[in-house]
């Protein structure tokens, strides 16, 4: 899924916090930056004025304005033309400095937004980079129910009718929290972090066969839902209860593996669905086991090592 952001979106998101004033080209708010525009390019999303590898948000501090003032008239005009020809999302002037008349004129003509802020350049740079990186990060929608179980994000997957929503409802009654039902969205905000959220249309809602749509926040209170959570584990509900070919090792180590989500491998555990199995208890145990393994404690491997020592001692 290709993410994008407009100049107006960025201004609305950070304008109050950074005390931004829209100085030039308010009509250019629809100017758009898409995630695929910068992935193969060298510049960053936001940075100080750079006319060699231009940033999409160009910040003009005291040093940048002083450098422009030192250019002769012809060179200055060529430089300003280069700046606007790169089609930046916006130009931002720091510390409430005055916008040079020629920059204002050329930006107005090229429909490039110019913003002014009383904040210093490094403050603007940090927040612009952070917000743009999050807004344009790779994202994907997966089918399943995303829950917070024992403080970790768990995605419950399975075929339609496998009982994902019923399991989620039972987990909620046991004190765990719902993030998203049916179509959680995951954004890769760092190389090893996937942040899961719920689409606005589905927020607080879960669909259970026979009951229809339920509002979890209204039924169980505000603490029963959570706005977002990092994905740490996928639990897949499988209708296949037959013994796998390597049933011996599978019973010792569990049916584990990994699933590629964007650029990250997420640990998976498969739980067979069968009459009489308490899936809520099993999923809670899976979450606790994942937490132990993350700490370097693996009961199965510890048992195998203990068994190996015992055999060696008996020889």
Question: In the annotation, is 192 catalytic?
Answer: no
Catalytic residue among 31, 56, 139, 164: 164
Catalytic residue among 131, 139, 182, 226: 182
What is the reported pTM?
0.76
Q: Beta strands 114-116 and 90-93: pairing type? A: parallel
Q: For 37-65, what is each residue's pLDDT tens digit?
A: 554 455 578 899 988 888 999 999 999 99
Q: Over 50: is that where the pLDDT of 81 sits? A: yes
- Domain boundary assignment for the chain: 4-135, 139-309
Catalytic residue among 17, 41, 222, 251: 251
Buried b (16+ CB within 10 A) or exposed e, 118-139: ebebeebbebbbebbeebbbbb
Question: In the annotation, is 260 catalytic?
Answer: no
Question: In the annotation, is 251 catalytic?
Answer: yes
Torsion of CA 109, 115, 118, 122, to 10 degrees: -110
| 117: helix, strand or coil | coil
Say how far apart CA 29 and CA 20 lie, in whole Å.
Answer: 14
Q: Per-residue confidence at 168, pLDDT binned at 50, 70, 90?
A: very high
Q: Over 70: is that where the pLDDT of 13 sits? A: yes
Catalytic residue among 17, 41, 143, 209: 143
CATH number for domain 4-135, candidates 3.20.20.240, 3.40.50.2300, 3.30.830.10, 3.40.1390.20: 3.40.1390.20
DSSP label of 225: B
Question: In the annotation, is 164 catalytic?
Answer: yes
Average pLDDT over residues 78-105: 93
Say how far apart CA 274 and CA 271 lie, in whole Å.
Answer: 9
Least confident of 31-45, 73-87, 129-143, 278-292: 31-45
4-135 shares its CATH topology with 139-309: no
Burial class (CB in 10 A: 0-12, 13-18, 19+), 37: middle
To the question of domain 139-309 being in CATH 3.30.110.30, the answer is no
Q: Per-residue confidence at 242, pLDDT binned at 50, 70, 90?
A: low
């Amino acid at each position: 899924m290709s993410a994008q952001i407009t100049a107006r979106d960025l201004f609305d998101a950070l304008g109050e916090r950074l005390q931004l004033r829209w100085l030039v080209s308010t009509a250019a708010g629809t100017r758009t930056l898409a995630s695929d525009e910068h992935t193969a390019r060298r510049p960053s999303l936001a940075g100080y004025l750079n006319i060699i590898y231009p940033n999409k948000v160009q910040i003009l501090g005291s040093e940048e304005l002083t450098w422009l003032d030192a250019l002769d008239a012809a060179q200055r005009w060529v430089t300003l033309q280069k700046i606007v020809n790169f089609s930046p999302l916006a130009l931002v002037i720091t510390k409430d400095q005055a916008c040079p008349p020629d920059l204002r004129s050329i930006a107005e003509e090229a429909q490039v937004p110019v913003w002014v802020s009383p904040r210093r350049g490094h403050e603007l740079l940090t927040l612009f980079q952070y917000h743009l990186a999050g807004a344009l990060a790779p994202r994907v929608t997966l089918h399943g129910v995303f829950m917070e179980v024992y403080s970790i994000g768990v995605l419950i997957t399975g075929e339609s009718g496998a009982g994902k929503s019923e399991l989620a409802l039972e987990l909620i009654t046991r004190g765990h929290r719902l993030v998203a039902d049916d179509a959680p969205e995951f954004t890769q905000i760092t190389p090893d972090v996937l942040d899961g959220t719920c689409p606005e249309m589905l927020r607080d809602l879960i669909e259970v066969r026979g009951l229809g749509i339920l509002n979890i926040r209204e039924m169980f209170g505000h603490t029963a839902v959570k706005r977002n959570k990092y994905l740490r584990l996928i639990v897949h509900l499988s209708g296949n209860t037959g013994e796998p070919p390597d049933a011996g090792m599978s019973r010792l180590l569990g049916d584990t593996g990994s699933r590629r989500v964007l650029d990250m491998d997420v640990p998976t555990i498969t739980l067979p669905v069968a009459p009489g199995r308490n899936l809520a208890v099993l999923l809670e145990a899976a979450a606790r086991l994942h937490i132990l393994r993350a700490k370097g404690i693996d009961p199965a491997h510890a048992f195998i090592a203990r068994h190996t020592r015992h055999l060696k001692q008996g020889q």
